[in-house]
Every structure is written in structure tokens, then in C-alpha cells.
Structure 1
Amino acid sequence: MDTTPATPQVDLIFEVSWEVCNKIGGIYTVLSTKAKTLQKLYKDKTIFIGPDVWTSENPSPWFTECKVDGLSAWAKNAKLPDSVSVRVGRWEIPGRPIAVLVKFDGMYAVKDEFYGEMWQRFGVNSLHAYGDYDEGCAFAHASGIVIESIIASGYGSKLTPTGRISKKYQPRMVAHFDEWTTGMGLLYVKWKLPQVATVFTTHATSIGRSICGNNKPLYDYMKGYNGDQMAAELNMEAKHSLEKCVAHAADIFTTVSDITATECEQLLERRPDVVTPNGFEKNFVPSAAKYPEARKTARDRMLTVASALTGKRMDDNTFIVITSGRCEYRNKGLDLFLDMCEELKHRRLCRNVLAFVMVPAWPKEARSDLAGRMAGMNDTPFVNDEAPLADPVLTHWLNNPDSDAVNSRIHSLGFTTLDPRVTVIYVPCYLNATDGIFNLSYYDLLPGADATVFPSYYEPWGYTPLESVAFGVPTVTTSLSGFGQWVLKVSENYFDECGVNVIGRGDSNYRSVVENISHSIEYLTCADEKETKKIHKAAMRTAAEAAWPEFMVYYDQAYALALDKAAERVKMIKNR
């Protein structure tokens, strides 16, 4: 008997995030890959709402302003506060969902009054706000007003599920807010629009990330932490207060993994109602027919960059390993990755290793000497070794080379003294095909890797290892990542079974993790062609199990529960 819940009847979904049409981090990947499946389930019933932080000189490359039936008419006549404006169009991603970008500058003028209202109604303490708190709250407040205005216009609520017009029909609407940055929007909707079901997703708690970022042990002492106390100690009171209040106010509270659900229960004092793991959209991956060419293009470019930097020609037998993601030195395990590279020098490697650290930092500019040498190699490839470039571990000059943790560790480990067995190269910029050196996107380069390593300490989900297996590239991650824990639940923990090796990590076993990951990479360097193909296929199977159509059932559950709560609330209001 099939126990999968049916897709709930939803007339309109609003999803609000700072990363709608605004590529910053992992949430962009969550939403942009989920959109195609949402479009299949709820064709144009989903409206993504994001910040309009763009100008005519610097337009969003992911947004096209265009006519959307009904919504464009609303935007033209919408009565919004001064200095709040909207643009309606499409998000240029698979599925091309509707997107509304909100200019929110006008909300700063009323922030103190609004913060007071949120304190009175929900207990949000904004007194110690600083940094990006005001910006996030101004956007969220404006987004709540926009949702209110769209609903007041009658958009999406004129027809019953049977297609008939009815004034009595109560449309089933969900407002879904991602991360604390949108929390004020959820509270506004809760206050003004009781008929709308609210869902809040925390992708990582602000206080949990801060605990780890301040080099405090999170896991061994988890049961002893009090979120409010730690927020005061780490100067995170406003963000934590907002996130906690929103988690409690939302009809349904969700997070992306079991490990983060435990964190939420301890630090926010509410266990998430539903765990909604992050999926991936296979449209981002080259087809089987195009994959060999994509892999060759990527490998040629990475080997050319490395050869030009080091002055030593690297052949195609070189084993390429990548780590990537947000530049959080400890949380993302960048420290451990570099120590693992050092450990590889003492392993019996069957192939020389080229390791790339692809994390955006504070780049100054692409290296002109590197670009020039690469251009010369197109005409006359290296025959004999040449002198390495100065600082042969960097593809882009940094604004802060002495204080950059990755750069400092690479130098302290001696990787500037080139060792053919293990070469480490730091790529401290966004790989968006316009970086001046690779001029390919990260997704264009990923097929060229032989393995990836993501030894995270704090990783609520872990998109980077999921992306890796989606491209058929074996990956190593840790048991402290949500993705790693999911793999352990659904598969045997071997490369040839799932394309993934999950290494157990805690607060007290750093050195053993370094050794275990280096052993995994040593094994992969020695795998023959038959074994490598088997691992590639296993990785692709794992990715198929983590595709969005497989995971949308959890969103269906969250939306159905939230809609039931909203219906009960409306019924109670009518019966008063």
C-alpha cells in the first residue's frame, strides 16, 4: 500500500528568501533547483520573493522583468508604502518560476516603530541589533506588505479547485520563509493575514553557526547549551531572538536534516515539525552524451592553470581533488582539508594529486602573470619545466593575504615549495565563468575532478557533496553533515556502493579524521578503470535518490499540516 501523502491542494505559495535571484550561498541552490519540481506540481502558483538590490548598471543576471498575467496588473496599481517598489518577472532557472523583486528602502524609516510592534506581539528583542540585521528585517517587512497587497488584489483566489468562481471559497495559501533574514515577514503575515499558512525553514541556526565560528565545541556539549545564554555571550541576541520567535510563531517549523533538528530543539527550544532534506535538479548536470567532452574541457583548464602556476607540466593522469563552498575555515573543514593534503605526502599514492581549494574570499584581481602564461601555453605548451610563478599557490591576488586563514595555512604547511606528489592551489573567487583565469563556472569545472572532499564540522545539509555525486564524482564528507547522515541511513558506506565515504567526526578526533580521509583519497588514486566506473555509477544512483521529486513529499507534508492549522485558526476566528 502506497502511504505517500498526496500533493496538497494549494492555491498560492509565496516563498521568501534573500537569495531569490541573488546568488550568495547554498540557499540559492536549494531554491533554484527546487523550482522546476514546484512548477510541475503547482504551475505558476508559486511566487518567489527576493530583494531588489540591483541597479541598471548592475542588473541581476538571473531575473527577467516581464508580463505575468494578473500579477503585472497588481504591480502597476499596488498601493505600497513610499520607497517600497516591486518588479515582476521570471527567475531564469529551470522551470522559470514567477519572481517578485522588492525594493525595501522605505522600511528603514519605520524600523523602530515596527521593532516595537514585534516586541509587543511576539517578544522579538531587536535592541542589540547590528550589522545586517536591519537590512534583513527591512526586506522581510516589505515582503510581508507585498504578500498582503497581492492577496488583497484577489490574485490567485478567484477560482475554486473546480474552476468555478466563488466568493465564499477560502483560498488555501502558504507563505514560506527561509532563514532568520526573512523572519519579520513571517511575523507580519501571522499578525495581518491569519488565513495564510506560515512555514519557516532554518537552514542553520544563527547561534549554532556562531558557536562553531567562535571555535567552541558544539556537539560534545550540545545538551548543556542554552541558546539565549550563548546569544548574549556571543553578541547574537537580536538575530537569535528573531529566529527563536519565528520558529515558535510559524504554523510549521522545518529544517533540512536530523542533525540540525537536534540543534534547533536545544538552541531554539522547538523541535522542527518536519525535516525537509535538500534535493538537486539533474538539469544542471551534462547529459551522458556530453559528459566526456565536459570532463575533458574541465580537466584541460584545471591542469593548464596548475601547470602555468607551478611551471611544471601536469599530465592527464593527475588526480584532481576539489573542496569548495562558503569560506568558513573551521566550519567547512578547510583546515582539515589542508592538513589532509599534507598527510597525502606520506601515503603510497598511485597518481600525483592536484588539490584545489575553491572558496570565495576577498580577491583583489585575477593574476595577470598567470593569465599571460596560460595564453602563451595555448601557442607553445610546456616541453620542459619552467620556473614557477611567484606565490604558485594562488590564482587570484588577495586584498588580505596575511590575514586570510586558508592562504596562511597553505604557506605554513610549505606548499609553496613545490612537491610533485601533492600540489595545492587556492582559488579565492566566485567561479561564475568571468573570473579571468578559469572562465568556467564551478559546475563546468566539477566534472573534471576525480574526487571531492568536504570534511565539514558544521554543515546542516551539505550541497557540495550532493552536487559532486550528481556529477558522478565520488566524494568524502563527514557524519557532522546532514547529507552525510542521510547517506548513512540509506546506503552502505562504501565508494562502490554509493559513491560516498562518510567519515565519523566529533569534537575530539580531528587527527584521525585527517588520516581517514587521506586513506580514502589514497584508495581512489589507486582504483583501476573498472572500479572507477563502478564508483561513478554508484554516485549517480545516490544523486538520483536525492533528486527533488524524491524529496518534495516532505514539503507536501509541511504544507498540508500548515494549511490545516490555518483552516483551524480561521474557523476559530469566525466562531468568536
Structure 2
Amino acid sequence: LKIKEVNVPTVFTTHATMLGRAMASRGDMSFLAGGIDPDQKAYEYGVAAKHQMEKTVAREADVFTTVSDVLAQEVKVILGREPDIITLNALDFETLPKQDELLVLNAKYRKKVDEFIRAYFIPYYPIDVKNYPIVFTAGRYEFENKGYDIFIDALGELNKRLKNSKRIVIVFLWVPRGTIAPKDEVVNNFLVYDRLKELLDSEWEVIKENIITKLSLGKNIEKSEIIPNKILSEFKSSFERIRSKRGLAPPVCAFELSSNEDEDPIVKRLKENGLENREEDSVKVIFYPVYLNREDELLGLNYREALMASSIGVMLSRYEPWGYMGQETAVYGNISIVTDYSGFGRFVQKNYKPDGESPVEVVRAVGRSREEIVKEVADILEKYVKMKKEKRKKLEIKAYEVAKLASWEEQIKNYIDSYNLAFERRKS
């Protein structure tokens, strides 16, 4: 445009840098401290052409903006220009459920998850689904970059701390990867469980009619007369089938993977931390490696519905210029745990001062050792898992208000300011 002398104001908004993402994917966060040669690093990481394109556009644009404070720090080092304005990412709350709707939807979808948990675990051992919190992480399969290693290690520590406490925590890892199909073992469990429910539903009318008839005739009610022997026998048979795997443990992964499960980084790390779904484990884990959708024959929820059924979301990315997933976690009524590597985390630190417990926890990760981060995440999870359900529910509701600080209604002015600045600079 400049070469052709086209008189059009230009604004370049970057949501990440190719070099920053490439370095972070290999655990190299040195760009945050500066003192690197970006051009040389781009060559080393194989992103030289894309890096030079970004650098040129950033230099030549009339106005340069980024979507968070943490990214502003990054582009100053990597692209060699400080942003003129921070144009924060945001959500359009007009398109999202209102808080009162969320409470209703939470109960609806939580009931569906409870059914899933019963079908998944009851064949192996009894499990109480009344009050347990649902903890989850989700995202692309970037094992270290997305912080799954930290999350699993923290879960392992939490499992040790909760030993003999009789507390139950259900953890989902919604991280898609190549799969073949749901495991036969899991499908069979669901078929047996569904058959038992169908039996109860179909025979309940007969049982109810028998009770009402006896009452109306003023006769004593005998158990054998209320429930016919044939139905009782079928009940017993179904109960035996659904308890057929007692003494074993449910699989940590619900699906057959397209490659060797024993070599999968998530499965390996779960087992290394002793997270194998034994009856004595307080932390029960389900690695669910497919994209969530309603047609799914097991869980049958899309991603947003699954969020609404949950309690605590953990997003520990090492590279997260904004972090919509951490914000969406809070929007849909969950306590959200993020890090100060994320733009949303930095935004919360800067703009929200809680009176007491915060529904959005920002883990201090920048400049700290791996062990320190794991411990802090485990501490936070332990706090919320042990918290009374009523108190935790209040925080889950409060999370919506924190997320709403970054709404388009609030943040659109920054974009308008950047366009106006581009016009002013073009005029001059």
C-alpha cells in the first residue's frame, strides 16, 4: 500500500507472534526477558519468513496494537515496536446465556454428566455422584505448551493429599487427538447401565399399579406381590451384569487411540502420577480425546454444555497471549485457574481486586520453577475441592462478573481509538 501510495489508514493487530509461539512450544520463554536476537532465533526455529513478514507489517502500519499486556512485552522484543494501544480481546455477552439461565442449564447438563459418571465407574466400584466437583482442562494437544504436564503433576499431588479423606474429584481432559472408537469395555458398561435404566422405567408403572391396587382394596402389601418374581429376577440379573468388573479399575482413557496408548504423553503422565482410577484414588481421571458434540455416543454434550456442567477449569498454558478458554471457563459458571503467562490472567490481576476468595485464580508462573508452579496449582485445587459446596457455588456464580470485565461493551472503545489514531496519523 505504501509503495503504491494508497492513502488508506492501516492498523495491524497481532494476537501472537510466530517466533514466540515456536519458542514457547519447546519450553523456551527467554523472549519475555529480552536480550535475544529475534532474527537469528527465527532462523533457528524455522519461522524466518513469517517472522520477517510480521516484523515488516508491524513497522510499516500506521497504528500497531496487541491484545494484551503480556503480548505487548513480547512484541517489543520480537517485532521491535511497542504497541500504540492495547486492544484487549473480549466476548460479546449479548450472545451468551444470562446468569439466571446458566443456573438452570448447569443443573440440566450436570445431571447428564452424573449419568455418564455412574455408567463409567459403577461396574468397578460404588461412587457417590451427589457433591463431587468436576475439574477439567481442554485445548489443543500441545503437551507442555498447554501445561498438561503441570496439571497432571498437580493432580497427582492432590490425590496424595486427599488419601483417606473420602472425597471424590472427577477430572476430565478434553484434549482431542487421533482415535479409532470408544473402547469396547466402556461401550459395554454404558449398554448395561442403559438397559438397567430402561428396565426400571418400563416396569415402574406395573409396580406403581400394584401398590395403588392393594391400597385401594385395603389389603396388606407384600413385597412379592408388588414386584413380580420375573421382574425381580431380571433386576438381579442386571445388577450382577453392571457390577461385573468389581475389583478392577475403569480405564483412564475412554477411547481406543490411533497409536500405542502406552506411548501417549497424557496417559503416561497420568500413570506416572499414580492416577489410575483405583477405588482408593480420590482423584478420578477421564482422558476424553475427541471433540465434544451432542452426537457423541458417550457424553453427548458439546463443549459449552460441558463447561456449564463443570465446577473448576484449569488452563495452564505457557504461551497464551490472551486466553479465551480461561475467560469462557468463568463465563459459563466455573472457577477459572489460569497463569500470569496469559493475557486474561494479567488482565484479571490488573483489573479485579477480590474481597476474599477470587473466582479467577492467577497462578504465578513467570520466572518460577516447575516444582513451585505444581505446588501452587495443587494448593489451589485442594482449597476449592475441600471448600463447602455452597461457598464454591457462590464463587462459580461470581466468576461470570469477573469475566464480564472483558466484554466488547467495555473494550470496543480501544479499537475505535486505534482507528481514529490511524486516521490522524495518515492526515499528518
Match of 1:424 in 2: 285
Partner Cα distance (1:243, 1:365) in 2:
41
Q: Call closer, same or farther: CA 1:350–1:415 in 2, change over 3 Å.
A: closer
Partner Cα distance (1:436, 1:226) in 2:
51
Partner Cα distance (1:309, 1:271) in 2:
52
2:256 aligned to 390, 397, 405, which one? 397
Match of 1:463 in 2: 324
Query: Aligned residues: percent identity?
Result: 31
Match of 2:216 in 1: none
| Counterpart secondary structure, 1:294 | helix
Partner Cα distance (1:368, 1:416) in 2:
18
Superposition deviation, residue 193 in structure 1: 7.3
Superposition deviation, residue 494 in structure 1: 6.9
Q: Do the aligned residues in 1 keep the contact of 2:85 with 2:414 (CA within 8 Å)?
A: yes
Match of 2:217 in 1: none
Q: Call closer, same or farther: CA 1:350–1:509 in 2, change over 3 Å.
A: farther
Q: Call closer, same or farther: CA 1:278–1:555 in 2, change over 3 Å.
A: same
1:318 aligned to 108, 114, 132, which one? 132
Match of 2:81 in 1: 270
- CA-to-partner distance for each residue in 1:208-242, whole Å, 9 max, x for gaps? 111111222436x7312221110111111112112
Superposition deviation, residue 205 in structure 1: 0.9
| Counterpart secondary structure, 1:549 | helix
| Counterpart secondary structure, 1:357 | strand
1:216 aligns with 2:28: yes
1:198 aligned to 4, 7, 10, which one? 10
Match of 1:115 in 2: none
| Counterpart secondary structure, 2:161 | coil
Match of 1:409 in 2: 269
Q: Call closer, same or farther: CA 1:495–1:459 in 2, change over 3 Å.
A: farther
Superposition deviation, residue 507 in structure 1: 4.3
Moved >6 Å (runs of 4+): 388-391
More RCO (CA 8 Å, sep 6+): 2
1:239 aligned to 39, 47, 50, which one? 50
1:335 aligned to 137, 149, 158, which one? 149
Partner Cα distance (1:296, 1:463) in 2:
24
- CA-to-partner distance for each residue in 1:108-144, whole Å, 9 max, x for gaps? xxxxxxxxxxxxxxxxxxxxxxxxxxxxxxxxxxxxx
Largest Rg, 1 or 2: 2
Partner Cα distance (1:364, 1:196) in 2:
51
Q: Do the aligned residues in 1 keep the contact of 2:99 with 2:397 (CA within 8 Å)?
A: no
Please give the residue correspondences for 1:158-177 in structure 2 after superposition, counting only pairs within 5 Å: none
Q: Call closer, same or farther: CA 1:367–1:193 in 2, change over 3 Å.
A: farther
1:521 aligns with 2:381: yes
Partner Cα distance (1:275, 1:417) in 2:
45
Superposition deviation, residue 506 in structure 1: 2.4
Q: Do the aligned residues in 2 keep the contact of 1:362 with 1:399 (CA within 8 Å)?
A: yes
Partner Cα distance (2:290, 2:89) in 1:
25
Partner Cα distance (1:345, 1:547) in 2:
37
Partner Cα distance (1:227, 1:402) in 2:
38
| Counterpart secondary structure, 2:172 | strand
Partner Cα distance (2:83, 2:160) in 1:
45
Q: Call closer, same or farther: CA 1:537–1:303 in 2, change over 3 Å.
A: closer
Q: Do the aligned residues in 2 keep the contact of 1:253 with 1:272 (CA within 8 Å)?
A: yes
1:351 aligned to 144, 148, 167, which one? 167
Match of 1:172 in 2: none
Superposition deviation, residue 567 in structure 1: 4.0
What's the TM-score, normalizing by structure 1? 0.61
Q: Do the aligned residues in 2 keep the contact of 1:454 with 1:477 (CA within 8 Å)?
A: yes
- CA-to-partner distance for each residue in 1:3-29, whole Å, 9 max, x for gaps? xxxxxxxxxxxxxxxxxxxxxxxxxxx
Q: Do the aligned residues in 1 keep the contact of 2:252 with 2:285 (CA within 8 Å)?
A: yes
Q: Do the aligned residues in 2 keep the contact of 1:469 with 1:542 (CA within 8 Å)?
A: yes
- CA-to-partner distance for each residue in 1:534-560, whole Å, 9 max, x for gaps? 313321211221211111111111111
Partner Cα distance (2:419, 2:45) in 1:
34
In the comparison of the two structures, how many residue pairs are matched? 378
Superposition deviation, residue 337 in structure 1: 0.6
Q: Call closer, same or farther: CA 1:346–1:408 in 2, change over 3 Å.
A: closer
Partner Cα distance (2:43, 2:140) in 1:
26
- CA-to-partner distance for each residue in 1:163-206, whole Å, 9 max, x for gaps? xxxxxxxxxxxxxxxxxxxxxxxxxx555572332222221111
Q: Do the aligned residues in 2 keep the contact of 1:304 with 1:374 (CA within 8 Å)?
A: no
Superposition deviation, residue 260 in structure 1: 0.9
| Counterpart secondary structure, 1:254 | strand
Superposition deviation, residue 459 in structure 1: 1.1
**Cα RMSD between the aligned structures?**
2.6
Match of 2:201 in 1: none
Match of 1:363 in 2: 179
Q: Do the aligned residues in 2 keep the contact of 1:453 with 1:475 (CA within 8 Å)?
A: yes
Match of 2:226 in 1: none
Q: Do the aligned residues in 2 keep the contact of 1:487 with 1:493 (CA within 8 Å)?
A: no
- Name structure 1 gaps, 5 residues minimum: 1-188, 569-576
- CA-to-partner distance for each residue in 1:334-364, whole Å, 9 max, x for gaps? 1101011101112246731111111222233
Superposition deviation, residue 495 in structure 1: 6.6
Partner Cα distance (1:366, 1:200) in 2:
45
- Name structure 2 gaps, 5 residues minimum: 198-237
Partner Cα distance (1:490, 1:563) in 2:
30
Partner Cα distance (2:371, 2:64) in 1:
37
Please give the residue correspondences for 1:171-186 in structure 2 after superposition, counting only pairs within 5 Å: none
